[in-house]
Amino acid sequence: MIDVSIIPADMEASLITADQRRFEKPQDNDDLRAAAEKFEAIFLNEFLKQSRKVKLAEDLFGSSAKTTYEEMLDREYADNLSGKVNLGIADALVLQLGKKLK
């Protein structure tokens, strides 16, 4: 079989590693990364809070205790999701603000 690839193997390997590095989290400043991930958690918390405000009907069993529980639950969901789901907000903040710290 004839190889019709126009990209040499060594160049293809370097392109693959460069592409992989583009999607890795920058590790330059751990404090900045932690603050950026916390900001992402705050963003997710606000998103969850606003989505809870949308109600299709009156809540029959609503109380202030239930509201407090839901707020704490949303906060925990936001903290957990910000560590597991990559929205790109933290990466963008680290890239943008990391340039100013150097």
Specify the pTM: 0.59
Q: Which of 53, 40, 52 is nearest to 81 (CA)?
A: 40
Query: Does residue 90 lie in a domain region?
Result: yes
Condensed to tens digits (0 to 9), the pLDDT of residues 7-23 reads: 556 656 565 665 565 55
How many Cα atoms within 13 Å fall on the side-chain side of residue 50? Answer: 6
Is residue 41 in a domain?
yes
Stretch 41-62: mean pLDDT: 82
13 located within any domain: no
Q: Is residue 62 part of a domain?
A: yes
Rounded distance between C-alpha atoms, residue 21 and residue 18, angstroms: 5
Q: What's the domain range around 95?
A: 29-101
Give me the number of domains the chain comprises. 1
102 vs 91: CA distance, rounded Å? 17
